[in-house]
Amino acid sequence: MTKPITSVALMSLYEQGYFQLNDPVSRFVPSGKNHRVWVSGEGAEMKTEAPHREVSFAHVLSHTAGLTYGGGLPGVGIQHPIDKIYRELKVALGGRGGPP
């Protein structure tokens, strides 16, 4: 239920003129400026690169920003090398508080 609430909040701020949909998210979240994206490989062999363009509010609102909950689908297991890293680092997965 967080996605619709967050989307409505963002659109309210957009209507008030706080940002444009094509503005980079890093304008408000500076740590997002230097992120990297997965290209190939796993573990020590993993290759990443700078994204071709910065993530915009339009990407976030249309769920095309490349963000992941990690951990794959519940009960399905690890589906992507990034999910494996999330588990190793004990990053909270999809609001579930991290791996068991």
Mean pLDDT, consecutive 10-residue segments, the chain of 100 residues?
87 96 94 87 88 92 78 64 78 54
Q: What is the pLDDT of residue 98?
A: 45
Q: What is the pLDDT of residue 76?
A: 66
- Global pTM? 0.69
**HSE on the CB side for 23, CA within 13 Å?**
14
